Amino acid sequence: MPKTTEKQKKCAVCGGTSAQPSVRAGKRHGSPDLDTRPPANARFDIDTWVQRCPSCGLCFPDIAKPPSGAIGIVQSDAYQEQLQSEGFPKLANSFLCWSLVEEQAGNFANAGWACIHAAWVCDDAADFSRLYGNVSGSKMGTRDETAAATLCRAKAVKLLKRARDLGQGFGAQAGSEEALMADLLRRIARFESALKMVQFGIDAGPRGVVDTVLRFEKELAEKRDTDVHTISGALKWKNELPQTPEPKGKDVTGQA
Ligand SMILES: [Zn+2]
């Protein structure tokens, strides 16, 4: 089990010092989701992926090293409203504020990823509410975390589209950016846009797992499926597809 520790960090915006959690990476077990969300045991430390200054509210992976211009956005009304928004879990607000810091700096791919992380926090909160109900009896019960996750994904799509337009890559392999975008669009029920994105991805000449994921996304979008699915689910789906029959005369048994 990875160990969570704390480090003193000096905020680059207000100069305040605070203890921020940091974690030693642990091993992952299980399959990531189609949008690369790690399995539950590997994302338990998601609260260490973003730091939040308790004084000024700067949210960033390292509050000592935000991009230039962070002070202006942190002091804006829009930022402070997001920081305190009751429409999202607190940790999702931290990711959404990190996204605003990246966006003002023109880092749209990073901004998009921060929104995807916010969506994962909302997904987990929605799952928790479904399983255990409103255990706290607080405002949590009136919050619609599923709707909050949809807002985060819609924002991620916008930001990643800007990243693509500006050539800010966010996928390592041919078709992987389109596969991610297709999953975000499908999860928010924008099926036609998801199918277009799948086609862009297939046109990019994907290989291996990325190709399989794109074809699986196509199948899911055509079925109007908005559920979460894993990469191992995509591979299983591929293996269960009817195999193309061998052409005649090439019988593997050698018998004509
Ligand atoms: Zn600060």
Rounded distance from Cα 74 to ligand 1 centre (Å): 9
pTM of structure: 0.88
pLDDT average, residue stretch 111-118? 97
Residue at 2 is within a domain: no
Q: Which DSSP state fits 243?
A: P
Q: Which of 24, 112, 20, 109 is nearest to 65 (CA)?
A: 20
Q: Is the pLDDT of residue 42 over 90?
A: no
Rounded distance from Cα 102 to ligand 1 centre (Å): 16
Rounded distance from Cα 95 to ligand 1 centre (Å): 16
Rounded distance from Cα 200 to ligand 1 centre (Å): 42
Residue at 193 is within a domain: yes
**Distance between CA 184 and CA 116 in Å, rounded?**
9
User: Which residues, 6+ apart, have CB-to-CB distance to 231 below 8 Å?
Assistant: 31, 32, 33, 34, 209, 213
What is the domain count for the chain?
Answer: 2
Same domain, 210 and 114: no
Rounded distance from Cα 116 to ligand 1 centre (Å): 24
Same domain, 132 and 183: no
For 102, other C-beta atoms within 10 Å of its C-beta total 24
**Distance between CA 34 and CA 147 in Å, rounded?**
20
The token pair that represents 66 in the structure block:
């935000």
Per-position DSSP letters for 13-49, written without gaps between them: TT--EEEEEEE------SPPBTT-PPPGGGSTTGGGS
**Distance between CA 114 and CA 9 in Å, rounded?**
21
Per-position DSSP letters for 170-230, written without gaps between them: --SSTTHHHHHHHHHHHHTT-HHHHHHHHHHHHHT---HHHHHHHHHHHHHHHTT--S--B
pLDDT in tens, 139-162: 445 689 999 999 999 999 999 999
Please give the mean pLDDT across all residues of the chain: 89
Same domain, 176 and 107: no
For 100, other C-beta atoms within 10 Å of its C-beta total 21
Residue at 8 is within a domain: no
Given this model, what pLDDT does residue 2 score? Answer: 56
Rounded distance from Cα 63 to ligand 1 centre (Å): 8
Strand locations in the chain, DSSP E?
Answer: 4-10, 17-23, 51-52, 59-60
Same domain, 43 and 142: yes
pLDDT in tens, 151-198: 999 999 999 999 999 999 888 899 999 999 999 999 999 999 999 999
Tell me which residue range forms the domain holding 209. 171-241
Same domain, 156 and 185: no
